[in-house]
Structure 1
């Protein structure tokens, strides 16, 4: 399974997996299977070279942002793949970024991490190319729902985040800014895939001046007090993201308003978030385990993935969104969900302007 997930673009194409949709569907199933196996299946550390992209295959579109080290564009790769392109300024140390690109190439080979596509060069510039995820942020999606999503769908969304975060942690990367607004969504025919923006994309956002420290609403006590960020501080933030998912995308500690960050900081670790309406007790217990005062007592992302995989709320033969969000359905008719709620099909409930990756820029601007 691990070898399959590390195949090159050419090898994937020979298997008929030259499109991101089918590839991600296969990899998602592999990742969920891996959670049932011992940790010996963890990703092997190995030397990796960043994939080279012919600059002639890139087409730069409109500018998304500008920063000290370069510009960020939307664009296309080989005329058919939508991408986000970071062009570095002439005066930057390209060796540093090429070394980082090697790490990004390894880290992003995962269905629940925004993909780093490769590196291109022209006479003057170095270009870092990332997958463009078209369907908005997870927060946008949750807040757009007219009816609450079925429990199994909420669990699936949460498992995707855990899988992506576990992958980053296995490569020594701490996210530091995990919120539902920094997660992007790819909507496939019968289900959705959530993806974590990896370190490469977050660095691009930072260079463009759009990356800010996460709001205290998502930060652990040690991150707030001492700026101490570890995989276990990410676990705390993951618990808050779970709370967002099961609360329909509500702002944590919203009872204190959008701007009272000082008051929120005082509450972190003292006044816990309440169980969201309709959230099962066993799910809320998982959230609470992420908010242990002692970081050593918080579960790892791998542990969280296993706990979530053990939950079973049934599908009754339905796909995750066949009852409420299938992109097959475009007539706006209502469908009955497996938890008894009537939900409306996707075109009436959730429409995307195709700016998923770009939406992360906007959400990071206000850091909530």
Structure 2
């Protein structure tokens, strides 16, 4: 074992636990570099977690020990009690003696309890993670492996753990292989070992964690590792969840900005979390993507979800519904359009249509451009939303 560790033990800078002082030792999981076991400490009179290393890498073990010791005072970082050594001389195995979190990791906790969490609780959980990360960053350490498996839950408090990949910001080594693709800084995924992760890399991971708090599920859960890798590298992100406060969406969206230099600091994020307004929430049924369709006679492009469809295309696609654009333009007459604010929910006022005419089933919202009162010039009008539309002609339904 490292001389540094032996010196620390000899001078009682680190507490040493006799291995036979633990009862009921049970494997419970694996961390980034080591196996984790639950045990009862007769000395502390409570359950603890014992973490060993998979491989004999003294530097990695000492580094994690140093990281834990540096931030050991914080309420949102797992507590470090000391170390223990397996009495079997052939093993030469050392264990970190850590706080045991009885409610497991955040990933499993959200899976089992998400339906019972309100936004006050989710906000507190986000603040817990941010507070712990703030302590890590103030200690000039980057975590480099933040994900919901490395956040533990204990008595309604979230704790950051698994500092095995963490290192001081002034360390000379570049990033090592590790971390999970969905939470990893896209720049690191693109450049690999040539990219040195920093605080902004942790901020990206934090943004993904915040989205996970809002959804209750892991990011890109229906995709495999390499598929997720390509998605993150290409700039793809998960979409907002209905009912999420708009302010909260802004926080995690800024955190997972593709450009590391444009991500906020952890203190910026903590301040923003304190200012969230919970009454203004995202709801895609109220705020749908609103395609625009030109109804005048001049050739125009159809713009749908930032994609341009030329008018001479056979058809365009709006909200997963296909329709004939040219037919649409010819069959909607001026007496079927009314300015926004009129009665009948601003819907076409075409009474008793024949089989050859088109019926739009209370599904189109019309907006009159500002300062325009001409109800006969179609060039002054646009359709700004199509919701659950059914277009019928001769009993043919396109929906």
Shorter-chain TM-score range: 0.5 to 0.7
SS at 1:133 equivalent: coil
1:151 corresponds to which of 119, 123, 131: 119
Alignment of 1:233 onto 2:201: yes
1:225, distance to aligned residue in structure 2 (A) = 0.7
Preserved contact between residue 239 and residue 287 of structure 1 (Cα < 8 Å): yes
1:292, distance to aligned residue in structure 2 (A) = 2.0
Distance 1:170 1:253, change over 3 A: same
SS at 1:53 equivalent: strand
Alignment of 1:196 onto 2:160: yes
Alignment of 1:160-239 (within 5 A): 160-187=128-155, 192-200=156-164, 213-227=178-192, 228-239=196-207
Q: Encode CA deviations 1:273-330: one digit per residue, 9 max, x unaligned.
A: 221111111110111111223212111222211211233549xxxxxxxxxxxxxxxx
Counterpart in the other structure of 2:339: none
1:55, distance to aligned residue in structure 2 (A) = 4.7
Alignment of 1:138 onto 2:106: yes
Counterpart in the other structure of 2:82: 118
Preserved contact between residue 51 and residue 117 of structure 1 (Cα < 8 Å): yes
Preserved contact between residue 182 and residue 228 of structure 2 (Cα < 8 Å): no
Alignment of 1:292 onto 2:273: no
Counterpart in the other structure of 1:82: 47
Distance 1:170 1:261, change over 3 A: same
1:105 corresponds to which of 69, 73, 83: 69
Preserved contact between residue 60 and residue 73 of structure 1 (Cα < 8 Å): no
Preserved contact between residue 136 and residue 184 of structure 1 (Cα < 8 Å): yes
Counterpart in the other structure of 1:62: 26
Counterpart in the other structure of 1:253: 220
User: How far, CA to CA, are the matches of 2:57 and 2:181 in structure 1?
Assistant: 33
Preserved contact between residue 161 and residue 195 of structure 1 (Cα < 8 Å): yes
Counterpart in the other structure of 1:350: none
Distance 1:115 1:200, change over 3 A: farther
1:54, distance to aligned residue in structure 2 (A) = 4.8
Preserved contact between residue 143 and residue 202 of structure 2 (Cα < 8 Å): yes
Counterpart in the other structure of 2:271: 306
User: How far, CA to CA, are the matches of 1:122 and 1:266 in structure 2?
Assistant: 44
1:185, distance to aligned residue in structure 2 (A) = 0.6
Q: Which has the higher contact order (CA 8 A, sep 6+)?
A: 1
- Count of residue pairs the alignment pairs up: 251
Q: Encode CA deviations 1:88-126: one digit per residue, 9 max, x unaligned.
A: 79x957687456534422223211111111123576654
Give the TM-score taking structure 1 as reference length: 0.59
SS at 1:235 equivalent: helix
SS at 2:269 equivalent: helix
Range with greater deviation from structure 2 (155-164 or 224-233): 224-233
SS at 2:83 equivalent: strand
1:76, distance to aligned residue in structure 2 (A) = 1.8
SS at 1:262 equivalent: helix
What's the Cα RMSD here? 3.5
Counterpart in the other structure of 1:242: 210
Counterpart in the other structure of 1:320: none
1:245, distance to aligned residue in structure 2 (A) = 0.4
1:253, distance to aligned residue in structure 2 (A) = 2.9
1:197, distance to aligned residue in structure 2 (A) = 0.8
Q: Encode CA deviations 1:207-227: one digit per residue, 9 max, x unaligned.
A: xxxxx8333221221121113
SS at 1:292 equivalent: coil
Preserved contact between residue 50 and residue 98 of structure 1 (Cα < 8 Å): no
Distance 1:93 1:229, change over 3 A: closer
1:64, distance to aligned residue in structure 2 (A) = 4.9
Q: Which sections of structure 2, spanning at least 5 residues, go unmatched? A: 1-11, 168-176, 280-399
Distance 1:52 1:98, change over 3 A: farther
Distance 1:103 1:262, change over 3 A: closer
Preserved contact between residue 186 and residue 232 of structure 2 (Cα < 8 Å): no
User: How far, CA to CA, are the matches of 2:227 and 2:52 in structure 1?
Assistant: 37
| Higher-Rg member (1/2) | 2
1:53 corresponds to which of 2, 9, 17: 17
Q: Encode CA deviations 1:113-164: one digit per residue, 9 max, x unaligned.
A: 1111112357665432111111122122222236352211111000001111
Distance 1:140 1:120, change over 3 A: closer
